[in-house]
Amino acid sequence: MALLQISEPGQTAAPHEHRLAVGIDLGTTNSLVATVRSSMAETLPDEQKRHLLPSVVHYSADAAPLVGDEAQAKASQDPLNTIASVKRFMGRGLADVKSVGSRLPYDFIEEEGMPRIRTVVGALSPVQVSADILRSLRSRAESSLGGELTGVVITVPAYFDDAQRQATKDAARLAGLNVLRLLNEPTAAAVAYGLDKAAEGVYAIYDLGGGTFDISILRLQRGVFEVMSTAGDSALGGDDMDRLVAQWIMQQADIAEDAEHKHIRQLVSMARAAKETLTQQDTAPLSLQFDNGQQWQGQLTRTQFNTLIEPLIQKTLMPCRRALRDAGIASDAIHEVVMIGGSTRVPRVREKVAEFFQRQPHVDIDPDKVVAIGAAIQADVLAGNKPDSDMLLLDVTPLSLGLETMGGLTEKVIPRNTTIPVAKAQEFTTFKDGQTAMAIHVVQGERELVTDCRSLARFELRGIPPMVAGAARIRVTFQVDADGLLSVAAQEQTTGVYSEITVKPSYGLADNDIESMLREAMENAGDDATKRALREQQVEADRVVNALKAALKADGQQLLKRSEFDTVNLRLNNLLNIMRGTDPQAIKIAIDELEQTTRDFAARRMDKAIQMAMQGKALDEFDTETEH
């Protein structure tokens, strides 16, 4: 009888149940999953004690996809069905794909938006390939933790744009994961690092991974991680070093530009091995043997390698400068430079970064695991396992968000490095009499010309009441949430009519694509769609019930009148009955009804929370603080 308990303050609350939550580092080269167990954050190994899962998926006609080392082993023998570094294609177009030699790495299908890859199991979107990697990590986590996951935190490069973030979230949805938050990789690293060292002050996180580069400047103060600025390049990383080395070998060994896919794969993995050798040795021997009889022997010296990659490293220093500038600090204001991402193992990278910041960077944490560990710590907090945690992450938008105006120019609506969540409203008017529709093109980037920025989406507003030209005032609101994802709403101001918005993402998947992929995935998994829908509604109902019980216990007596309290209880009781049934639609209706009833209560609680933030904080307490 839960309801009786609620009306007696201090007697509710089931013993706290530990919810299973994990952090996932979905990397270009490798992926990891980590969790917090007995207050220790650790990465989870597979049955063979391997922690790193190579982000490689192999598809075959007659078996389930292979993920990880087993897939990697198929790379040179079946290159077109073995997809690696798929993260580089997320939310990107075919024009963004880089290649070694003259061939593209896979059999891409030429189409607008995100390209699909032709494999033996059909054309696959990068989102589907990523979902297969996530599924593998999910089953690893669920079997090692012994239960279903409540939620996950997935990390993304800080410099990922909206399309890339949305694609990542879609992949998670396909893999059946409940995303608590998309977390920026440098911020995740700062969490792992900062909590470990109980650090305070300003930190620079230099993150050079397999395919992406990020620099973030953060201020750490009593559990609050405030990102001051971020910059980077979402298509720059260790893969590019491998490609440069592979191209160099092609020249040295006289290999044709249009060499076969499997030979290119062989070259690239040899290049990567040489790069890894050179982190410890001064020379790396190279030996090629193709199945067509072509042979070549040679070596790569560290000096030669450094010359090859110099332009890449230079390309990372420019964003460092910009990040410092946007944060409004000089490099001597930085307490420490922390290096993460596998590519920071390259000695030349460390030297150049040390030179730039004029101090030795920190390299004492495992650059591969730190992001997953940070994500796990955040997941544990968000899942509600640490109700007393002080930790709070305040992140920013990496790129300016703008609109196309007359003449193909960009008008910035939300500048880069604005703390999220953020919302900006802009007013538009009609330029023709009786105009009822209008198109809005949203772009992301810093450049003045729309064509130099990244197209995010085209929104079409319909249902504008017909008026004379210039009379309608349409207020369009752009909201970026805590995951860095954009949503748009529009309202005509003079009549209050809400305009209908259709979104055509430039690189993402439309909602119906996702639906059909989900259906497909469920059919393959032998999952029943209604069963899944029921489960989803039950989880949401559970969440609503628990949140409301806790809220009533804390503030019910104080903030609700007796009659209001009774109505809320009635609806709550109703939901508790219905959620035991088997009708997902009925549960949804009961949830909506309950939320209707508690709207004022929720608003009052939020006001109280804000007042609490200010109370008990006397002025002199603030005055003792100094800000530098």
Partner 1 sequence: MPLTDTHFQLFNLTDSFEIDSAALAERFRELQRNTHPDKFANSSEQERRLAMQRATQVNEAYQTLKHPLKRGQYLLHLKGIEMKDEQAHSMDQMFLFEQMELREKLENMARQSDPVTALGQFMDNVEQRLRNLIQTLTQEFKQEDSNACQDTIRKLQFLYKLQEEALNLEEQFI
Selecting among 161, 170, 207, 492, the annotated active-site residue is 207
Judge whether 210 and 342 are in contact, CB under 8 Å: yes
Task: Examine the residue annotation and report whether 25 is marked as an active-site residue of this protein.
Answer: yes
Task: Select the span of 122-130, 283-291, 553-561, 596-604 touching partner 1 (CB under 8 A).
Answer: 596-604
Distance CA 152, CA 33 (A): 10
- The residue among 449 and 603 lying less far from partner 1, judged by its C-beta, is 603
Based on DSSP, count helices (H) and strands (E) in the chain, helices before strands. Answer: 17, 27
Q: Residue written as tokens 């806790």?
A: 550
Distance CA 570, CA 584 (A): 20
The reply to whether 80 sits near partner 1 by the rule CB under 8 A is no
The reply to whether 5 sits near partner 1 by the rule CB under 8 A is no
Selecting among 162, 185, 233, 242, the annotated active-site residue is 185
Judged by CB under 8 A, the residue of 50, 462, 519, 617 near partner 1 is: 617
Judged by CB under 8 A, the residue of 315, 325, 519, 531 near partner 1 is: 325
The reply to whether 563 sits near partner 1 by the rule CB under 8 A is no
Task: Examine the residue annotation and report whether 625 is marked as an active-site residue of this protein.
Answer: no
Distance CA 440, CA 462 (A): 11
Distance CA 593, CA 612 (A): 29
Task: Examine the residue annotation and report whether 8 is marked as an active-site residue of this protein.
Answer: no
Using only the alpha carbons of the chain, give its radius of gyration: 26
The reply to whether 401 sits near partner 1 by the rule CB under 8 A is no
Residues 6+ apart with CB under 8 A from 263: 255, 290, 292
The crossing angle, in degrees rounded to 10, of helices 511-524 and 529-551 is 110
- The residue among 439 and 609 lying less far from partner 1, judged by its C-beta, is 609
- The residue among 86 and 548 lying less far from partner 1, judged by its C-beta, is 548
Q: In 369-463, which residue ranges form alpha helices assigned H by DSSP?
A: 370-382
Distance CA 392, CA 226 (A): 8
Distance CA 67, CA 53 (A): 8
Minimum separation from the CB atom of position 147 to partner 1 (A): 17
In sequence order, what are the beta bridge partners of 336?
203
The reply to whether 149 sits near partner 1 by the rule CB under 8 A is no
The reply to whether 544 sits near partner 1 by the rule CB under 8 A is yes
- The residue among 187 and 455 lying less far from partner 1, judged by its C-beta, is 187
Judged by CB under 8 A, the residue of 458, 504, 543, 588 near partner 1 is: 543
Ramachandran assignment for 63, one of left (phi > 0), alpha (psi -120 to 50 degrees), beta (any other): beta
- The residue among 292 and 622 lying less far from partner 1, judged by its C-beta, is 622
> What does the DSSP 8-state code read for residue 374?
H
- The residue among 42 and 595 lying less far from partner 1, judged by its C-beta, is 595
Q: Which of residues 200-229 bind partner 1 (CB under 8 A)?
A: 221-222, 224, 226
Query: Cis omega before residue 367 (within 30°)?
Result: no
Minimum separation from the CB atom of position 625 to partner 1 (A): 4
Neighbouring C-beta atoms of residue 281, cutoff 10 Å: 12
The reply to whether 425 sits near partner 1 by the rule CB under 8 A is no
The reply to whether 619 sits near partner 1 by the rule CB under 8 A is yes
Minimum separation from the CB atom of position 626 to partner 1 (A): 6
The reply to whether 610 sits near partner 1 by the rule CB under 8 A is yes
Task: Examine the residue annotation and report whether 214 is marked as an active-site residue of this protein.
Answer: no
What Å distances lie between residue 107 and 22, 81, 506, CA to CA? 34, 9, 21
Residues 22, 27, 30, 34, Cα dihedral to 10°: -10
Catalytic residue numbers read 25, 87, 185, 207
- Binding-site ranges for partner 1 (CB under 8 A): 151, 180-181, 221-222, 224, 226, 318, 321-322, 325, 381-384, 390, 392-394, 418-423, 479, 481-482, 540, 543-544, 546-548, 551, 591, 595, 598-599, 602-603, 605-607, 609-614, 617, 619, 622-623, 625-627
